[in-house]
Amino acid sequence: MARTGVKTEKIPLLPTLLTTGNLVCGVLAIILAISDAFKLVLPPTGSSQHAFIPYVTSCYLILLAMMFDILDGMAARLTNTAGKFGIEYDSLADVISFGAAPAILMYLVVLRYQGPVGIALAAIFIFAGAFRLARFNVVANSGAGDPKIFKGLPIPAAASVLVSYVIFSQWFDVYYANGPRLFYDKALDWYSENISQFQHYAIPALMILLAVLMISNVKFSSLKYFLVRERIRFAMLAALMCGLFILFVKFEVSAFLLCTGYVLWNLVRAGYGLFKARKQKLQRRK
């Protein structure tokens, strides 16, 4: 009986290393979040209590994992080494870094105080992310997908919105207590005084919204595609340069604004597309 061999795909070095960086950041984020919950990691002796906060560091690690995720896709396309192995390995890393890591982090920070509901919310977020990645893999392996468009919110974008909000809220809480009070705004005062109670409701609602968007059919632009194009529109290049500049000015604020801005911009664009299609349909009936 003849044995039929299975042709193995060559593993590209650079994209695989970058994907591994993504995975390592996700694992470290989980370890630091758990260490913070059980007080296994303490600030260095003699340092400020805000010098090192493990769960905030976990948020930065998840954002760093997102950068690795962008770079591995760019490397695979630029070196023409994109293949099924890379797609599968990237998705497995994404489930850890952008599904499990943020869900565990949010559970330890906020959701654990909500009992079984908090556990369910964390599980729903991971399920939605895994569902989104599985659907993406099926489309990508069939070759029928549009590289410019994602169906459903990409899981790295969903995770970045969550963790960037945690970074922003932590920065705001510290700055508002110790920074100069140049003006008094009632909304900001209320948020500063009730930030913990606000997060108790805001983060669960945000996680549900992001989970729904991940499994939805709403179309989102692919940043990876635009970053590896040979030619790019001047408006897109200017927007990228402005985004990078804003990040360097005040990262804690601008990261949250840019991450949520990406989601909101695509939702507005999708809503406008539906409105335009419905308007054209009504005009045809006339």
**Which range of residues forms the domain containing residue 62?**
13-177+186-281
Residue 206 within any structural domain of the chain? yes
CB of 19 within 8 A of CB of 86? Answer: yes
Among 98-102, 189-193, 204-208, 244-248, the range scoring the smallest mean pLDDT is: 189-193
**Confidence category of residue 164, pLDDT binned at 50, 70, 90:** very high
Residue 238 within any structural domain of the chain? yes
Among 93-97, 126-130, 237-241, the range scoring the smallest mean pLDDT is: 237-241
Give me the pLDDT at residue 267, please.
92
Residue 71 within any structural domain of the chain? yes
Over residues 210-225, the mean pLDDT reads 86
Please provide the average confidence, as pLDDT, over all residues in the chain: 79
Look at residue 193 and tell me whether its pLDDT is greater than 80: no
Over residues 121-131, the mean pLDDT reads 95
What is the rounded CA–CA span in Å between residue 34 and residue 38? 6
Give me the pLDDT at residue 80, please.
77
Phi and psi (nearest 5°) for 149?
-130, 140
Over residues 154-167, the mean pLDDT reads 92
Q: What's the CATH code of the domain at 267?
A: 1.20.120.1760
Tally Cβ neighbours within 10 Å of residue 249. 8
Residue 1 within any structural domain of the chain? no
Look at residue 284 and tell me whether its pLDDT is greater than 80: no
Residue 137 within any structural domain of the chain? yes
Dump pLDDT digits (tens) for 55-79.
Answer: 889 999 999 999 999 888 788 777 7
What is the rounded CA–CA span in Å between residue 57 and residue 101? 12
What is the rounded CA–CA span in Å between residue 3 and residue 269? 54
42 against 145, higher pLDDT? 145
Residue 141 within any structural domain of the chain? yes
Give me the pLDDT at residue 212, please.
95
Over residues 218-223, the mean pLDDT reads 83
Dump pLDDT digits (tens) for 6-55.
Answer: 556 677 788 899 999 999 999 999 999 888 777 665 555 554 444 567 88
Dump pLDDT digits (tens) for 253-278.
Answer: 888 888 898 899 999 988 888 878 78
Over residues 137-145, the mean pLDDT reads 77
**Confidence category of residue 131, pLDDT binned at 50, 70, 90:** very high
Q: Could you give the number of structural domains in the chain?
A: 1
CB of 108 within 8 A of CB of 37? Answer: yes
pTM of the model: 0.82
Residue 4 within any structural domain of the chain? no
Residue 6 within any structural domain of the chain? no
Give me the pLDDT at residue 279, please.
75
